[in-house]
């Protein structure tokens, strides 16, 4: 009897420092850079620890956006429609929707009857 391995999709599963995928590391870096702006502002007025808190906070938010998926749940309209999708994909789609001035194009197939 032979062993056959089922192929898996390994896209985006390369790990850096064990918990960071490439995408999660990029989002964490972007979040830390945004927090770095707050660090510069708060360190200028002498509140360095508050600035460091913002760097860590925005880094964790970036990590969560790059790593986690929206849970599947029927309780809320948002989670019912987007359950199981990555958070960053949902955010990208929302931005594209807002750039399109909230237009949704629906193609309807009309039933025509020959009478």
What digits encode the pLDDT tens for the residues 24-75? 788 888 888 989 888 888 888 888 888 889 898 998 888 888 888 877 777 7
The tokens 């990029």 sit on which residue? 26
Could you tell me which residues come within 8 angstroms of residue 93 by beta carbon, excluding any fewer than 6 positions away? none
pTM: 0.62
In a domain? residue 83 = yes
Asked if residue 92 is part of any domain, the answer here is: yes
pLDDT of residue 8: 65
23 and 63, same domain (yes or no): yes
Query: Is residue 41 domain-shared with residue 79, that is, in the same domain?
Result: no
Asked whether residue 56 falls in the same domain as residue 75, the answer is no
**Are 30 and 78 members of one domain?**
no
Same-domain check for residues 98 and 53 = no
Cβ contacts of 88 within 8 Å, gap of 6 or more? 23, 27, 65, 66
H-state helical runs in the chain: 22-44, 48-67, 77-82, 87-99
Evaluate if residue 12 carries a pLDDT over 60.
no
Asked if pLDDT for residue 102 goes beyond 70, the answer is no
The CA distances from residue 77 to 67, 73, 90, 97, 104, in Å, are 22, 9, 14, 17, 18
Residues 94 and 56 in one domain: no
If one counts the domains in the chain, the total is 2
Separation of alpha carbons 107 and 1, rounded Å: 52
Beta bridge partners, 49, equal none
Minimal CA–CA distance to 71: which of 60, 63, 62, 80?
Answer: 80
């Amino acid at each position: 009897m032979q062993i056959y391995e089922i192929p898996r999709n390994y896209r985006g599963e390369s790990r850096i420092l064990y918990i960071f995928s490439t995408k999660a590391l990029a989002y964490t870096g972007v979040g830390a850079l945004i927090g770095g702006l707050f660090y510069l502002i708060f360190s200028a007025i002498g509140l360095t620890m508050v600035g460091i808190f913002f760097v860590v906070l925005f880094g964790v938010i970036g990590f969560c956006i790059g790593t986690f998926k929206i849970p599947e749940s029927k309780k809320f309209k948002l989670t019912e429609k987007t359950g199981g999708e990555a958070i960053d994909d949902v955010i990208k789609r929302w931005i594209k929707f807002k750039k399109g001035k909230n237009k949704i194009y629906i193609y309807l197939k009309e039933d025509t009857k020959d009478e």
